[in-house]
Structures are given as C-alpha cells and as structure tokens.
Structure 1
Amino acid sequence: MVTALCAASTTEVRIMLLTDAALKNMNITQSNIYPVSQARNMFSRLIDQIGTTKALYVTKKGKIRAALIDIDYLQKMQKDLQELYKKTYIDKDLLSYTREFTDAEIKEWAVEDKL
C-alpha cells in the first residue's frame, strides 16, 4: 500500500491508501513527480498546483510513496466507487430476476446488520 495525501486547501488534508496497481493506471509524468525533500520545502505551492492537475506524486528513495490529489477528483472517485459497490454482477440468464435496491433499503439493511 502507498499512502496518498489528498488536499482541498492548505488547511484540510485527507489521507487515503492506494495500491501500486492504482498508481500505474494514473497519469504519472516527470513533471508531476517530486522527491520528498523537495516536496517538503514547497508543500504550500504543491497544494496550489493541485488545482491545475489531478495529482502530484512524491518519491522517497526513488519510489513513488505518496500522491497529492485534487479533492474534487477524490470525491468523484469515492462516489463512483460507492456506486460500483451497489452493483451486483450476475449471470445474464438471471437478470430478469434482479432489481436495483433503493438507498433506503440498503440503509435499513445496514441498521439490521448492526443488531
């Protein structure tokens, strides 16, 4: 796992975990990679730069170890992931027997599961 810092502003920093596979799928170029020593000295400027790019990456000992991610992009990814969790992948022959569950039903089940 790789720790990723996700910032909305200089006053709000959120932390999430990314796998190495997830990083490979992101658009990583030399222009958005910074060694940790350099990133530490220019953290405020990097936060400002997040508005023009989705992510900046920080390396430690030559390996990408962290990412600063635009908060809007992070929230979109979280929303998309939440929608994916609601979907069930099922055999095509059984599709006629399925339906989508409402948010209310899902919340009700979550309450029942806590009991």
Structure 2
Amino acid sequence: MNWVLLIIAGIFEVAFAACLGKAKETTGNEMISWYVGFLICLAISMYLLVKVTQELPIGTAYAVWTGIGAVGTVLVGIFVFKEPASFWRLFFLLTLITSIIGLKFVSN
C-alpha cells in the first residue's frame, strides 16, 4: 500500500509543477486559481510523502517521489507545454525511469 501512496504522491508532485507552468501563462483570477491548485497539490503530495516515509526508507521514498515528479513533469512539458522531445532528452528520461524501477526492486 505504501508504494501505491508513493506513486500518488509523485502524481501530485507532477500536478503542482503543472499548476506552476499554467500559472505562468495566465493573469488575474485564473492565475490565482492555478496557484491555489499548486498549494493544494503540494500539501497532498507532502502529506503522502511523510506518511510513506514512516514505513519505507526515506532515501528510497524520496528518490522515487522525485523521480516520478521529474519524469511526469518532463512528459507534461512535452505534451502540454510543447517542449522539445529530443532523442537525448527521451533517452535520459528512460534511464531515470529504469532507475526508479530498480530502486523499487532492491528495496524491502
């Protein structure tokens, strides 16, 4: 169950990064709404991360959490914000995913 919560925490990390990106593109009340979304997603992500680290090693949990956030944020950047998807960017993204999966398999 802790691994599921950790994945959910990582998804909320992606969401708060996406909210920052959308807030940068807007003004007025819409911008404020994106910042409120950022704060809500941040709070949920941090709460779940704290909860998970009570059972999983902090080094593993934090590495997986940031890895999910990094991979997800890059994918959001490519698909939502139209950032480039070069070969090397995707190659290193794949190595990051492989490392996250490896950490899961070598952790208790």
TM-score norm. by structure 1 comes to 0.27
Larger RCO, structures 1/2 (Cα 8 Å, 6+ apart): 2
Normalized per residue, which structure has more helix? 2
Which has the greater radius of gyration?
1
Normalized per residue, which structure has more strand? 1
